[in-house]
Every structure is written in C-alpha cells, then in structure tokens.
C-alpha cells in the first residue's frame, strides 16, 4: 500500500503522526514541502479532494500575519498562489493512502483508517 504523509518536519502534529505510523510499523513516504517542493497540481488535488477552505491553515502564524484585506479577499485562486508561496499555510498533515487524501491527525482517526 502506497502511503504518503505531506507536511513540514518541525510541525508538532506531523511529528505525532510520524511517530504513530512508525510505532504501528506502517511504511510511508514523507513529502517535505520545503525539501521536495509543491506544485500547483498537488495543491489543486488537495483543494478538489478536501476543499480549499479546509486545506488553508487559518490557525498558524503565517495566516495571522496576513493583512485583513488579504484574509477577506481569499478565494480558491488566490489561496492557491498563497499556498504555493507559503506552504506552511497548508493544514497538516495531509495523508495519502492509495488514491484517497485525509486531513489532520488523531490516533483514533489513524487507527480506524489502518484497521
């Protein structure tokens, strides 16, 4: 089974998800947005599967640093450009299991997914 975990390595939630996968002896690939890059096609796939508003991390410091005007004018098109420029604004983690994408991490969610 092909499993890819997308994110940035210093994110606490990514660390928890990776630890959970490793503890369960589940093989996966880690796609680091900063090292491996990110493409418009990948972000569009996230948007189509999960919804652009859910993919955009509004709780992070990068989002909070946006001007009020930027926040109010967000739409799918400019969110795409913003996430390509600032991949830390992509909600984490995104997990691909075969062809399906999942957003977020809780031990219960992953237990159900891999049971």
Active-site positions read 11
The answer to whether 2 and 26 have CB atoms below 8 angstroms apart is: no
Residue 87: which of 29, 46, 27 has the closest Cα? 46
With H, G, I as helix, E, B as strand and everything else as coil, classify residue 76: helix
The answer to whether 4 and 95 have CB atoms below 8 angstroms apart is: yes
């Amino acid at each position: 089974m092909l499993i890819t975990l997308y994110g940035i390595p210093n994110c606490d939630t990514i660390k928890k998800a990776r630890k959970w996968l490793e503890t369960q002896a589940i093989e996966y690939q880690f796609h680091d947005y900063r090292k491996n890059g990110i493409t418009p096609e990948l972000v569009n796939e996230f948007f189509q599967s999960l919804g652009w508003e859910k993919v955009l991390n509004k709780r992070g410091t990068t989002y909070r640093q946006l001007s009020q005007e930027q926040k109010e004018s967000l739409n799918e098109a400019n969110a795409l450009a913003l996430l390509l420029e600032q991949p830390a604004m992509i909600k984490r983690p995104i997990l691909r299991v075969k062809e399906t994408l999942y957003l977020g991490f809780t031990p219960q969610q992953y237990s159900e997914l891999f049971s």
